Structure 1
Amino acid sequence: MRALPVVVAVLLLVVPVAGTTSPVGGSEQPAVVGATDPVAADSVDSAAVDPSRHQTDPSQIDESNLTFRTLSAPVDADARVASAPRGANLGPALSFSVDDVDAAVETAAVVDRIENAETSTERQRLILAALSRVERDEVSLHSRQAAAFQAHASGNISDRELLDELVRISATAREYDRRLEEIDALAEETDGFSSPTRLDELQVALQVYSGPVRDRALATARGEVSAAEIHVESTDDSVTLATIVDGEYVRETFRNDRWDRGGGEISNDEAINVTTAAYPETAALREPDAFGAGSVQRITIPHEYGVLRAFVSGGTERVFVEHQRIDLNTFPDTERASETGDGFNVTVERSYAGGPVTVTVLDEETGEPAPDVTVTKSVGDGDSRAIGTTDADGVVRTLSPAEPYRITVVDEPRVVVVDGLRPIATPRLVDDE
């Protein structure tokens, strides 16, 4: 089995310019990272997009009852939300590039040693040794990531440092995955030898260290995209990242407490059943597709409103990693608040902490969209910060804080304030409510 290629091969660079970090409840704004080009969609298994597979007719979907449950931080954990303005920075970008080159050079050396083996027996030994090395390196990646979660949650590292580390881990995992591709091909070319089954499981396990928000980040470090918000939330055992990119809400969550690394195997069908039970509304939109082996399964559900990707642990029989992409024009998990005055009709569609917030500004008299109007957001007792100007439809979007906030529409001398806004409840997984 070959691991599907990861579409986006970009790292995130983030550097704080201003702002502070604090536990949830402090007056914080989400972090800012790149967001001009669209995030490349997660790779989707060919079976998942086969038109012969079952898919719900969109006309039969009750959108009034539609919801997209999401994997979130443990409900009883102390979470930290921290952020700061960010932008491209040459130093970390060069650091990421050096890490990439070092890992790629090591892969080339591994391939060279195997190809130059003098006997088939020696070739097999080198293949197994290379595979064992990647297994040990994956353990190291897991330890590094767990340490980063804990350090950020305890306030010992900034959100920039957390994201830098997560991006490095993601890039390294991708290179290890590519190395396994090379090892797999060399094993197939070796007489009397085939790829060990543990290679398949290791390939899927390495993919848990990547994600659509991390993918977005590297482009910022390299100056390929401009700024956007990113939500960062951590506990000792988890991290959630979220952003908005070209009309889509993009989110990823990693839960160490739901991954039993020494757990037993789980079949495709069992993993599909776990995912269907955890995300009943999403699974009703389209039949899930499984890809994996051993103790980790990757489940993908591409549907009319976006894509869900979940990784299921055989040991716990629970989802421990989630990637979500949802079309903002059909995002269902919102509640509206409105205010009219000074010639404007302002509607704020609230969502859960870290979720998308849509602000729509209309002309009070005509009901037509009001473009090029500045909109700001202030959290708690913090200062207002501009989140952008309304587009041709009178719309601008931001991410919901974890505490009360207010939205202000400014078109001098006219001002409209929508105050007392709060995030709504997060639609958690069925087994995590």
Structure 2
Amino acid sequence: MRLTPVMLALLLALSPGAVAVQASAPTSPASAPNTASFSPAASDISLAQTDGDTASSSADGNTSEIMTLKSAPARTAFGTPSVSLGSSLVIDRGGFETRLSVESLDQQLEAAETVEKKKRILNRYRYRIENRIISLKAREQQATQAFSNGTLSESEYLRTLGRIDAAAADIQKLTTAMEKRASTVPRFQMETEANTLKGKLVLVEGPIRDHIAKTLRGERSPTRVYVATGKSGVVLSTIINGEYIREVVRKDHRNPAASRDSSKIEARQEVINQYPWAFNHSKASGVDAFYGNTKIYQVRFEHEQGKLIAYYDGGTKSVFREIQHKQLTGDTPLPTGPSVTNSSENLTVAVNRTYAGGPLRVKLTNATGAPVRGEITVAGEFVGRTNAEGVLWTLSPAGTFQVGASHDFRTVNVTATTVES
């Protein structure tokens, strides 16, 4: 059931305690005209060595490189966020407050008698948005630290990331509203300020976080999520509708105060250096610099297996955020990793190994080689059933683990170890 604003207001008025508990849980971009496209050419590719933060995600390097954390994660876990009434109320309240804030801005601007008063109102509005962003980033950092040291569960951490993503979406709406209304004031534009605000949100939003937020509200189906955190950043990965999605934030590669700056050409080349396979196999690509004064450049490759979006910091000269989409089925799927197999009781299970949090392929067949529908466990956790082809794609844990397959009261197990990323 969808909550109307009136119903939401009543719920919030009647249930302040529940909302307050959810709000304190962390303690336990659109295209712009400043865009340049480019086509891959062999002469553009540089194979310069990186600092070791990227590596091929398959043994023979036949897929795009991935970015890793600087050192071993402090903690890794799996979680499957589902519908949450408390989180849904918090998210709905944020949307309701956003609409009220925009309406209040309109009323203030309408009542302002001079252009100068309108400018002051809009500048105060921008400062309030900046304060909300600061608060949101601090909340994310606090939650990540709590998860890393074990004082916050993986379920609550993932819910917190979902709520933060929803709050970031609300801030995006406030920023767009501010920019639109500023454009109606004579001799006054806030495009650069608005884009700068949007750039400051890059670290706390992403496609997996957005999926979690929608799942909490019952708008998406729950999906298993891998999470790894450390001092240098956060890794999230999942599989949705036959597509592997991975997002990484390297906080140690982002420094807004760095005095150096870059150009789109330099950003493009540095990202090519770090992701040569993705560039060399790209069908379309481009670089954008529409994040105001943040020195952020977004470089994207649409390649034969999916797409890569890299965010480059012109001050640190490093990629600090990576989003990967890779197809697991279709005409040009992600290639599988090295296989380990075992047979027992006329069943054979084959596991194509991958890196921690990577896409793990499990295939179950019978003595004749025909596919079998069976139940699959990984490290003792049930992760799903194989399909009509006897295949299940899931996420790999770290280290050495056991994969079990069961069918018709028969079970076969195999021990697998992650490959180095």
Partner of 1:339: 342
1:417 aligns with 2:420: no
Partner of 1:373: 374
1:266 and 1:296 in contact (8 A); partners too? no
- Counterpart of 1:273 in 2: which secondary structure? helix
1:48 and 1:302 in contact (8 A); partners too? no
With 313-322 and 264-273 compared, the bigger mean Cα shift is at 264-273
TM-score, normalization: structure 1? 0.78
Partner of 1:290: 287
Partner of 1:325: 325
- Counterpart of 2:66 in 1: which secondary structure? coil
Per-residue Cα deviation, 1:94-117 (whole angstroms, up to 9, x for no partner): 122212322332233224323432
With 316-325 and 135-144 compared, the bigger mean Cα shift is at 135-144
Per-residue Cα deviation, 1:286-321 (whole angstroms, up to 9, x for no partner): 264222243112222222211211211122111111
- Counterpart of 2:65 in 1: which secondary structure? coil
C-alpha distance in 2, partners of 1:89/1:117? 42
C-alpha distance in 2, partners of 1:247/1:86? 19
Corresponding pairs, count: 369
Q: CA deviation at 1:49?
A: 12
C-alpha distance in 2, partners of 1:123/1:385? 58
- Counterpart of 2:262 in 1: which secondary structure? coil
| Closer, same or farther: CA 288–271 of 1 in aligned 2, 3 Å | farther
- The residue type paired with residue 369 of structure 1 is P
C-alpha distance in 2, partners of 1:408/1:180? 50
Per-residue Cα deviation, 1:78-100 (whole angstroms, up to 9, x for no partner): 52013455432222221222123
Q: CA deviation at 1:425?
A: 0.9
Partner of 1:18: none
- The residue type paired with residue 152 of structure 2 is I
1:216 aligns with 2:216: no
Partner of 1:6: none
C-alpha distance in 2, partners of 1:174/1:81? 27
- RMSD between aligned residues: 2.7
C-alpha distance in 2, partners of 1:407/1:80? 22
- Counterpart of 1:228 in 2: which secondary structure? coil
Q: Percent identity?
A: 27
With 237-246 and 181-190 compared, the bigger mean Cα shift is at 181-190
Partner of 1:309: 309
| Closer, same or farther: CA 86–178 of 1 in aligned 2, 3 Å | closer
C-alpha distance in 1, partners of 2:248/2:128? 27
Partner of 2:105: 110
Bigger relative contact order, structure 1 or 2 (CA pairs below 8 A, ≥6 apart): 1
Partner of 1:388: 384
Per-residue Cα deviation, 1:114-143 (whole angstroms, up to 9, x for no partner): 343221111122222222222232222222
Matches within 5 A, 1:228-239: 228-239=223-234
Partner of 2:11: none
Q: CA deviation at 1:272?
A: 1.6
1:170 and 1:214 in contact (8 A); partners too? yes
1:127 aligns with 2:122: yes
Which one of 27, 49, 54 corresponds to residue 39 of structure 2? 54
Which one of 157, 178, 182 corresponds to residue 183 of structure 1? 178
